[in-house]
Chains A and B, each alone.
Chain A
Amino acid sequence: MHNKPMDKSKLLAIGDRFRIYILFLVIFIFMSLFAPRFFNSYNLTTILRTVSMNATLALGFSVVMICGHLDLSIGRTATFAAVIALLLQKSVGYGLSVPIAIAAGVLVGLVNGLLVVKVKINSFIVTIGTMTILQGATYTMTGGNSVSLSGSNVFAISDFLSRPLLPMLPPRVILTILFVLLFHFFVTHTQWGRNFYLLGGNKMTAWLAGIHTDAVTVSAFILSSTMAAVGGILFAMESSAATLNMGENSLMYVVSATIIGGTAMSGGKGGVLKSVIAILSLEMLYTGTILFGLGNEVKIFISGLILAFVVLYEAYASYKHERTLGQRSELLKEVAMLKARVPK
């Protein structure tokens, strides 16, 4: 008699755990069946290429969120690093400009992390500040214009990055997949990676367990900014150009995708792979809306709504959880059953 409801709740729990994979399949099948010109190798390659920047950003962002923090500066960091890489390319070439740009990303993360753990300012307040600084720096460096490069060697690199090496997989996508696998392995199979979960779940426990919580937090912020920089640089190298708002919308996409993917804002839950799958699902949805003939405005509208819905859902779930905290549902059910049996 008890088994049936137990099974149902178990099934629900499993469904909730794998919800992002289910969502992914549903969107993929729906779009393949109904959206015109969706299921062909050209479109799918385009989707993979489009997501690779946001997917790279989502890797680091998820790690910060698993730690129970937020990094709102990722979008601007991506633009900042991309602009540095392109501007310096003119004088020193990619060989030196890319490492410098990545170093800039590392520096941003270090500053964010130190401000969070040493000065103990809330992470989103810190990153709102650095976001503004980075925006100012980017605009000052470029004078408010977008940056573009030309020249045969530059175009050779962007051609190399975007031309499929394997079927449907240009080097940039392959790189992104490598990053994803690396991060997934790092977060799930190494001690340092698993420390992120422990830290996000309960900071005090983590500290008592002998984890250097400050170092772990700072490393999370460094990973986040570095991946943001790498994502921005690769995007800029592929198109040989950087616009000043290229990273701006990424924040919205990445935040929604990470939460849809099941990484809780309270920390300690989720995974990088799930965030990437969520990014992929969202991009398929957006591509679908464009293929159905709806404009870019609709895309902005939908993505805003999705973010709002996701944040609301997450908040509502934790609100419900908090209300029923400590209640034992099976006992309540038994009481209800007993009450029903008692004749009036």
Chain B
Amino acid sequence: MNRTIDTDTRALRTNRFSAIMNSVGVYAIALLFLLLGMLLQGVGVINNFMTTQNLMNIVDAVALLGIVAAGMAFITYSGHYADMSVPTTIALTGIVSVELLRFGFFFAMAGAILCGILIGLINGIVVGKFKANPIIWTLAMNYVSLGIIRFVWVNKQIYPDVITDNVRAVMLFDNIYRFRLFNVLSLPLILMLILVAAGQFILKRTPYGAQLKLTGSARRTARFTGINVEMIVASAYVISAFTTTVAGLAITSLSRVGAWYNGAGYDFRAVTAIVIGGMTLAGGRGSIVGVLGGTLVIGLMNNIMTLLGIGTFSQDIIRGAIFILVVGINAKTLRSQGRDDA
């Protein structure tokens, strides 16, 4: 009898150190990377790290990735690993917005967001209600959107200023990425901060967040407590699709072109940011603030690797290895603490 109670408390006890580690630890890692960058510059291996321009570059890259990751974290939190349809959702919503720019700026925004939410809704219904394998389904959805793009826009790249003569709409569209508040805070950064704050609030302070947590950690239990599990999962996908669309608009505005390859790589980078941020792939653990930290780490790491002259391709190797390492360590620690039977 005693023994069972023992194991139970061990499973329920919140380890203060790991709790602190979970929320702050990733920022410590980010700080370490920052120090590493400074050190490397001090030694003279790299230069241009501690310049305003470079730090702003890092922040801008982090902002785009952070927007995607903040939404995708909801899917991970709900126990559905990741959204592999992110790359073509970015591309498709970007193309749709450029295409609709001829009817005016706000119409284009609304159309793109509607399109993104539609993708999220389809994902959510299929994964939430019919319990399709989340990775395979979103991968299939990725190919379907890619097919739609290639079918309708046959390899064409569409430019906002070619699509329409409406100078004001084009200017507004260009400014999605380029607008800077007080000449410092870019619009994607502001959007990311708002989304992260909102996400953190929703996950930790609302009934919906609690329901999502229970769904993520024990779906059957959640169902038996009367939570509409299908709705909860579907909503997570819609949230992810929405933030992905926001990122898609910013990325398209950055490159000033709508094309099918616009979002390449964002799926994997977002998942990596999420797991580095302390969110476990098993679901129900972690926070959006942690994910923001994970995004910072990824951004700093990419920047330092690029400054070191490591090619984009070789960076993939390092990113992949770090991803597996972090997931592995995470799974191992949780198991050794008796908090995960996976």
- The docked-state distance in angstroms from the alpha carbon of A131 to that of B148 is 25
The A286-301 residues at the B interface (CB cut-off 8 A) are 295, 297-298, 300-301
A140 touches B314 (CB 8 A): yes
Give per-residue flags for B107-146: 1 if the beta carbon is below 8 A from chain A beta carbons, else 0. Answer: 0000000000000000000100111110111011101111
Please, which residue of chain A has its CB at the minimum distance from the CB of B324? Answer: A129
Interface residues on A, range: 35 or more
For the complex, what is the distance from the CA of A122 to the CA of B320, rounded to whole Å? 15
What B residues does A132 contact at CB under 8 A?
A: 268, 316-317, 319-320, 323
Q: Do residues B143 and A308 form an inter-chain contact, with CB atoms below 8 A?
A: yes
Centre residue among B126, B136, B314, B320 by max chain A CB count within 10 A: B136
Q: Mark A97-135, 1 if CB is under 8 A from B, else 0.
A: 000000000000000000100011110111011111101
Contact B331 A297 (CB under 8 A): no
Contact residue range for chain B? 35 or more
Chain A contacts of B132 at CB under 8 A? Answer: 311-312, 314-315
- A311 to B136, Cβ gap below 8 A? yes
Alpha-carbon gap, A129 to B141, bound state (A): 20
Chain A proximity of B77: nearest CB distance (Å): 15
A309 shortest CB reach to chain B, Å: 9
Asked if A301 meets B135 with Cβ closer than 8 Å, knowing A125-B327, A129-B327, A136-B317, the reply is no
Q: In the bound complex, how far is the Cα of B316 from the Cα of A208, in angstroms?
A: 41
Interface of chain A, main secondary structure:
helix
A311 with B133: CB separation less than 8 A: yes
Complexed CA–CA distance, A144 and B321 (Å):
20
Residues of B within 8 A of A140 (CB): 311, 313-314, 317
Query: Contact between A125 and B81 (Cβ–Cβ < 8 Å)?
Result: yes
- Residue in A135, A144, A255, A319 whose beta carbon sits within 8 Å of that of B136 in the complex: A255
- Interface: B1 (CB within 8 A): no
B155 at the binding interface (Cβ < 8 Å): yes
Which of A124, A126, A132, A297 has the most chain B CB atoms closer than 10 A to its own CB? A132
User: Are A126 and B151 in contact (CB-based, < 8 A)?
Assistant: no
Q: Tell me the bound Cα distance from A16 to B113 in angstroms.
A: 41
CB distance from A170 to the nearest CB of B (A): 30
A72–B134 Cα distance when bound, in Å, is: 13
Closest A residue by C-beta to B340: A120
**Chain B residues positioned under 8 Å from A41 (CB to CB):** none
Shortest C-beta distance, A28 to chain B (Å), equals 24
Among A120, A136, A255, the residue within 8 A (CB) of B313 is A136
Task: Check A133 against B316 for contact (C-beta < 8 Å).
Answer: yes
Interface residues of chain A, those whose CB is within 8 Å of chain B, are 70, 72, 115, 119-122, 124-126, 128-133, 135-140, 144, 252, 255, 265, 295, 297-298, 300-305, 307-308, 311-312, 314-316, 318-319, 322
Top-10 shortest CB links A-B: A136-B316, A139-B313, A301-B147, A315-B132, A133-B320, A304-B143, A132-B320, A304-B147, A136-B317, A315-B130
- B residues touching A (Cβ–Cβ < 8 Å)? 81-82, 126, 129-133, 135-137, 139-141, 143-148, 150-151, 154-155, 268, 271, 281, 311-321, 323-324, 327-328, 331-332, 335, 342
